[in-house]
Amino acid sequence: MEFESVEKGQSVGERTVRVSRADLVAYAGASGDRNPIHWNEEFARSVGLPNVIAHGMFTMGAAVGLVTEWAGDAGAVVDYQTRFTKPVVVPNAFDTTVTPSTALTVSGVVGAVDAEARTARVDLTVTAPDLSEPDADPATAKPLKVLVKAQAVVRFPG
């Protein structure tokens, strides 16, 4: 992406990130955040959660890939922030192997352009189905905004 062609209101695209319990175990290992609410259902319920939930930082990390791919430079994000509003519930799903049981839907729009600093702020919308009820169906469950005020500032060379 060339900075000169970036405009406020422009879409940076949309993607779906499927999520399994195995993804959460991989993130726990990679990040060092081994809190059992992210991999043990009994423990998660014992602290009042509806089920195993994804690390907020997993969701934040997975969502920003849309921005770095759009920018064409994985090191171009100079600022990235979000609030975590709703947990991403990740039910058990097993069919000879652990399979994805939910998905993040990520989309982004250019919210601001700073010509002097050569930066663009991308505002991300990230949703996941509300699977907090045991019999919820991922295909029909209501999408919840799991990140709010998720904004990534990209700096362009030049």
Partner 1 sequence: MAVSADVVGRTYPSIAPYQVGREKIREFAAAVKATDLTHYDVAAAQTAGYADLVAPPTFAIVVSQKADAALVNDPEAGIDFSRVVHADQRFTHHRPIVAGDELTAAVTVDAVRPLGGGAMVTSRVEVTTVAGEKVATTVSSLLVRGEEQ
> What are the residues binding partner 1 (CB under 8 A)?
17, 23, 26-27, 29-33, 47, 55-58, 60-62, 64-65, 67-69, 73-75, 77-84, 152
Q: CB of residue 108 vs partner 1: minimum separation in angstroms?
A: 13
- Structural contact between residues 92 and 136, judged by C-beta atoms closer than 8 angstroms: no
Eight-state DSSP code of residue 4: G
As a whole number of angstroms, the distance between CA 1 and CA 91 comes to: 37
Q: CB of residue 74 vs partner 1: minimum separation in angstroms?
A: 4
Place of tokens 């049981």: 101
Q: CB of residue 32 vs partner 1: minimum separation in angstroms?
A: 6
- Structural contact between residues 88 and 104, judged by C-beta atoms closer than 8 angstroms: yes
Strand partners for 121: 112, 153
Of the pair 6, 64, the CB lying nearest partner 1 is at: 64
Of the pair 81, 92, the CB lying nearest partner 1 is at: 81
Q: Which two tokens stand for residue 80?
A: 């990235």
Of the pair 61, 111, the CB lying nearest partner 1 is at: 61
